[in-house]
Amino acid sequence: MASATAVTAVGAVVGVASGSEAAPAQSVDVAGSTLLADVPSATQAQAISDNIANQSVAQQQAADAATKKAAEEAARLKAAADAQAKADADKAAADAAAKAAAQAKAQQQAQQEAAALAKAKSQMAVTNAAPPVSVSPGSVQALAQGIIGDSTQFQCFSNIVTRESGWDYTATNAGSGAYGLVQALPGSKMASVGADWRTNPETQIKWGLGYMNDRYGSPCGAWSFWQAHSWY
């Protein structure tokens, strides 16, 4: 049995030979035809499908990783910003508290100074209102001896007072402002013993004796220092 191709070829020849008009022969596009050899096998098709699937998975994983990294970086930046904001807020609160404490301290100090000034003015008013006590130098010395008691310590005390004020309880140093029997500087120090420190020699003697005892141990200790320095 002849093949269809052979029969077609013979027919074509016969047609030409018999002089009959024949239809133009159709050319076959061999190059554009899909050959069986070009069709991938089932194994190859599966491999291609798997490869595409693997690429898709890898791309998705890369996208997920990038998204996760971006989210972590955003979270880190937010945490850092929150921490800085808290630190700034804490510092601002601490500064405000310190400023408030300083203002309160300054206000308290101002109040204390105002109270001390008012007290000093009150004491000054009392002192200025009190008339001087009329006593002679000899009676002031006798008063001092009675207060001090010990004759040796009294003699040391007397040596200093004689040189500082000549036993004048109103003596005032024009240069320094030192005042009284023991020339306290300033004279207002003697207010710790009595508000009448300007006019009462007893107040001045008690303050002077306390000063000598506290600073030099005794009037004789003060006298030893005075002899070396001409002041005490």
pLDDT tens per residue across span 30-57: 555 555 566 678 888 888 888 898 898 8
SS3 179: strand
Question: What's the CA gap between 59 and 40, in Å, rounded?
Answer: 26
Residues 125-134: what's their mean pLDDT? Answer: 52
CA nearest neighbour of 199 among 208, 210, 190:
190
SS3 193: coil
**pLDDT band at 116; cut points 50, 70, 90:** low
Whether residues 216 and 162 share a domain: the answer is yes
Whether residues 145 and 225 share a domain: the answer is yes
Single pTM value for the model: 0.45
Q: Residue 200 is part of which domain span? A: 137-229
Whether residues 144 and 225 share a domain: the answer is yes
Residue 53 domain-assigned? no
Instruction: Report the number of distinct structural domains present in the chain.
Output: 2
Count of H-run helices and E-run strands, the chain:
6, 0
CB under 8 A, 24+ apart: contacts of 137-144: 137/166, 137/167, 137/168, 140/167, 140/169, 140/181, 140/201, 140/205, 141/167, 143/201, 143/202, 143/205, 144/181, 144/201, 144/205
Whether residues 212 and 142 share a domain: the answer is yes
Residue 29 or 141, more confident: 141
Q: Which domain-ending residue is among 38, 71, 97?
A: 97
Question: What's the CA gap between 197 and 205, in Å, rounded?
Answer: 10
Residue 186 domain-assigned? yes
Whether residues 143 and 223 share a domain: the answer is yes
CA Rg value for the chain: 61
Residue 132 CA from chain centroid, whole number: 58
